[in-house]
Structure 1
Amino acid sequence: MASNTTAKNDTADLGNLAETLIAAARKAGADEADAMAVAGQSTSIDVRAGALEHADRAEAIEIGLRVLIGGRQACVSASDHSAASIDEMAARAVAMAREAPVDDALGLAEPGQLAARRDAQDLEICDNLPDPSPAHLQDLALRAEAAALQSRGISQVESANASFSRRQIWMAASNGFSGGYGRTTHVISAVAITGEGLSMERDYAAEARVWAADLPAPEDIGRLAAERTLARTGSRKPPTGAFPILYDQRVSSSLIGHLLSAVNGSAVARGASWLRKSLDEQVLPAGMTLHEDPLRTRFPSSRPFDAEGLATSPRDIIADGILRGWTLDLANARKLGMDSTASAARGLASAPSPTNSNVILTPGTRSRDDLIAEMGTGLVVTSMLGASINGTTGDYSRGAAGFWVENGQIAYAVNECTIAGNLKDMLLSLTAANDAPPWRGAEVPSLLVRGMTVAGA
Structure 2
Amino acid sequence: MNAITTQTAGTDDSLQRLEQLADISQRLLEKARAMGASQAEVSCSEDRGLDVNVRLGEVETVESTHDRGIAVTVYFGQRKGSASTADLQDSSLDATVAQACAIARHTEDDAAAGLADAELMATTFPDLDGWHPWELSAEQAVDLALACEAAGRADARISNSDGASAATARSLSVYANSHGFIGRDRSSHHSIGCALIAGQGDGMQRDGWYTSAIAREDLQDPVAVGRLAAERTLARLQPRSLPTGQVPVLFAAETARSLIGHLLSAVSGGALYRRASFLLDSAGTQLFPDWFAIDELPLLKRGLRSSAFDGEGVATRNSALVSAGVLQRYVLGSYSARRLGLQTTANAGGVHNLQVRANAGDRASMLSGMGTGLLVTELMGQGVNGVTGDYSRGAAGFWVENGEIAYPVDGITIAGNLKQMFSSIEAVGTDVDPRSHVSVGSILLGAMTVAGND
**What is the TM-score with the length of structure 1 in the denominator?**
0.93
Q: What is the CA distance between 1:363 and its match in structure 2?
A: 1.0
**1:1-16 counterparts in 2 under 5 A?**
3=10, 5-16=12-23
Q: What is the CA distance between 1:437 and its match in structure 2?
A: 2.2
Checking the alignment, whether the CA contact within 8 Å between 1:45 and 1:138 is kept in structure 2 is: yes
Match for 2:291 among 287, 291, 296?
Answer: 287
Cα distance between partner residues in 2 of 1:222 and 1:321:
39
Checking the alignment, whether the CA contact within 8 Å between 2:52 and 2:145 is kept in structure 1 is: yes
SS at match of 2:41: strand
Aligned to 1:359: 354
Q: What is the CA distance between 1:4 and its match in structure 2?
A: 6.0
Checking the alignment, whether the CA contact within 8 Å between 1:281 and 1:322 is kept in structure 2 is: yes
Checking the alignment, whether the CA contact within 8 Å between 1:363 and 1:436 is kept in structure 2 is: no
Aligned to 1:416: 411
Q: What is the CA distance between 1:365 and its match in structure 2?
A: 2.2
Structure 1 position 185 matched with structure 2 position 189: yes
Distance 1:5 1:221, change over 3 A: closer
Aligned to 1:21: 28
> What are the Cα deviations for residues 400-442 of structure 1, in whole angstroms up to 9, with x where unaligned?
1111223443222122221110101101111212211235301
Q: What is the CA distance between 1:98 and its match in structure 2?
A: 2.5
Aligned to 2:92: 85
Aligned to 2:44: 37
SS at match of 1:169: strand
Cα distance between partner residues in 1 of 2:161 and 2:419:
40
Amino acid at match of 2:155: S
Checking the alignment, whether the CA contact within 8 Å between 1:138 and 1:162 is kept in structure 2 is: yes
> What are the Cα deviations for residues 129-164 of structure 1, in whole angstroms up to 9, with x where unaligned?
552111221121122112111234112332111100
Question: Which runs of 5 or more structure 1 residues have no equivalent in the other structure?
Answer: 346-354
Amino acid at match of 1:396: Y
Match for 1:394 among 389, 393, 398?
Answer: 389
Aligned to 1:123: 128
**1:181-330 counterparts in 2 under 5 A?**
181-330=185-334
Amino acid at match of 1:40: D
Distance 1:4 1:168, change over 3 A: farther
Amino acid at match of 1:427: F
> What are the Cα deviations for residues 261-311 of structure 1, in whole angstroms up to 9, with x where unaligned?
112122222222212222111111111110110111112111111111111
Structure 1 position 452 matched with structure 2 position 432: no
Aligned to 1:106: 113
**1:67-82 counterparts in 2 under 5 A?**
67-82=74-89
Aligned to 1:167: 171
Q: What is the CA distance between 1:258 and its match in structure 2?
A: 0.5
SS at match of 2:63: strand
Cα distance between partner residues in 1 of 2:171 and 2:263:
30
Cα distance between partner residues in 2 of 1:450 and 1:53:
45
Cα distance between partner residues in 2 of 1:225 and 1:100:
52
Q: What is the CA distance between 1:239 and its match in structure 2?
A: 1.8
> What are the Cα deviations for residues 196-225 of structure 1, in whole angstroms up to 9, with x where unaligned?
221111101011111101111111111110
Cα distance between partner residues in 2 of 1:247 and 1:267:
26
Distance 1:40 1:332, change over 3 A: same
Checking the alignment, whether the CA contact within 8 Å between 1:400 and 1:416 is kept in structure 2 is: yes
Aligned to 1:441: 437
Amino acid at match of 2:444: L
Distance 1:130 1:317, change over 3 A: closer
Question: Could you say what the CA RMSD is over the residues aligned between the two structures, in angstroms?
Answer: 1.8
Q: What is the CA distance between 1:236 and its match in structure 2?
A: 3.0
Cα distance between partner residues in 1 of 2:252 and 2:206:
17
SS at match of 2:144: helix
SS at match of 1:8: helix
Amino acid at match of 1:126: W
SS at match of 2:207: strand
Checking the alignment, whether the CA contact within 8 Å between 1:62 and 1:81 is kept in structure 2 is: no
Q: Decide which moves more: 394-403 or 327-336.
A: 327-336
Q: What is the CA distance between 1:2 and its match in structure 2?
A: 8.4
Q: What is the CA distance between 1:444 and its match in structure 2?
A: 0.8
Cα distance between partner residues in 1 of 2:415 and 2:244:
11
Cα distance between partner residues in 2 of 1:271 and 1:237:
38
Aligned to 2:4: none
Q: What is the CA distance between 1:40 and its match in structure 2?
A: 0.7
SS at match of 2:261: helix
Checking the alignment, whether the CA contact within 8 Å between 1:72 and 1:100 is kept in structure 2 is: yes
Between Structure 1 and Structure 2, how many residues are aligned? 445
Aligned to 2:422: 427
Aligned to 2:65: 58
Cα distance between partner residues in 1 of 2:431 and 2:118:
43
Match for 1:147 among 135, 145, 151?
Answer: 151
Cα distance between partner residues in 1 of 2:140 and 2:223:
15
> What are the Cα deviations for residues 353-398 of structure 1, in whole angstroms up to 9, with x where unaligned?
xx11110101122332333234344221111111122222211111
Aligned to 1:340: 344
SS at match of 2:383: strand
Q: What is the CA distance between 1:59 and its match in structure 2?
A: 0.5
Cα distance between partner residues in 2 of 1:264 and 1:2:
44
SS at match of 1:388: coil
- Which segments of structure 1 move beyond 4 Å, counting only runs of 4 or more? 1-5
Amino acid at match of 1:123: L
SS at match of 1:233: coil
Distance 1:3 1:13, change over 3 A: farther
Distance 1:182 1:223, change over 3 A: same
Question: Which runs of 5 or more structure 2 residues have no equivalent in the other structure?
Answer: 1-7
